[in-house]
Homo-oligomer: A and B are copies of this chain.
Amino acid sequence: MTPSKQEILEQAAACFMEQGFHATSIDDVARRLGATKGRIYHHYASKIDLFFDVHREGMRRLFEAVEPAREAGGDAMTVLAAMLRAHAMAVLTHHTFESVVAQGVQMHRFGATTPAQRQTLDELIASRDRFEQLFKDQAQAARDDGSLAPDLDVSVAVKTLLGGIQWSLIWYRPEADRDAASKDRLADAMVRTLVDGVRRRREAGQVKPGLPRRSGT
């Protein structure tokens, strides 16, 4: 990927996050690049193609963040928690791209598209489904080994977990000059809420901490 294309992706992601796909004009993106739209149309045939490429990059970053946690091993609930934590960090860190992923999901449900666009979007959504399936599989493994609350519907539970994290796209203010440690604390707080719930655990001998703590910094 050329540096120019990468820069277009970054600025487009910022515009799409702030204003949404339809309210963002190609001129908006170009202005943010300090350029004119000729530059963008040289690399992308249409606004929707640019949007799809941002979406694709957003998905790539999600997989990149979560896969190491998934493959690290350990007992099933610990791995699930680590995956959620990695996902939370990815959403907080790449929030412009992940906002576009969320918009793409909405567009898939209702957006009017040409057949060619439809196919591209179908592929992106299939990728999103595979991502969610990683969490469902891990939750099922935790259910099988008895570390997940046995009365929960795995599909609804996973959607609720991911939703709790992803809603930070709505309320998180990255412009409030956050450092990495601040994001770490926030991701921790979200995942602990989701994994252990808000209701106090009263059972005797709560020997296992909620999550593996990240040492340092």
A residues whose Cβ falls under 8 Å from a Cβ of B: 18-23, 74-77, 79-80, 102, 105-106, 109-111, 139-142, 144-153, 156-157, 159-168, 170-171, 186, 189-190, 192-205, 207-215, 217
Among A21, A109, A139, A197, residue most surrounded by chain B Cβ atoms (within 10 Å) = A197
Task: Indicate if the CB atoms of B110 and A189 lie closer than 8 Å.
Answer: no
Decide yes or no: A18 and B193 within 8 Å by CB, A186-B156, A203-B204, A209-B75 being known contacts: no
Task: Indicate if the CB atoms of A194 and B148 lie closer than 8 Å.
Answer: no
Task: Indicate if the CB atoms of A110 and B168 lie closer than 8 Å.
Answer: no
Task: Indicate if the CB atoms of A161 and B193 lie closer than 8 Å.
Answer: yes
A203 contacts across to B, CB distance below 8 A: 201-204
Task: Indicate if the CB atoms of B74 and A147 lie closer than 8 Å.
Answer: no
Decide yes or no: A19 and B212 within 8 Å by CB, A200-B149, A201-B149 being known contacts: no
Task: Indicate if the CB atoms of A163 and B152 lie closer than 8 Å.
Answer: no
Decide yes or no: A196 and B193 within 8 Å by CB, A102-B170, A163-B166, A164-B163 being known contacts: no
Copies in the complex: 2
Taken together as a complex, chains A and B put the C-alpha atoms of A164 and B161 apart, in Å, by 6
Q: List 8 A-B contacts (CB under 8 A).
A: A141-B213, A160-B194, A163-B165, A163-B171, A164-B167, A167-B167, A196-B199, A197-B197
How near does chain B come to A209, taking the closest CB pair, in angstroms?
7
Taken together as a complex, chains A and B put the C-alpha atoms of A198 and B199 apart, in Å, by 12
Task: Indicate if the CB atoms of A162 and B167 lie closer than 8 Å.
Answer: yes
A159 contacts across to B, CB distance below 8 A: 167-168, 171
Nearest residue (CB) in B for A142 is B198
Task: Indicate if the CB atoms of A170 and B105 lie closer than 8 Å.
Answer: yes
Nearest residue (CB) in B for A204 is B204
Neighbour of A139 across the interface among B195, B198, B208, CB < 8 A: B198
Taken together as a complex, chains A and B put the C-alpha atoms of A160 and B92 apart, in Å, by 13
Nearest residue (CB) in B for A171 is B159
Decide yes or no: A144 and B199 within 8 Å by CB, A160-B194, A164-B163, A193-B161 being known contacts: no
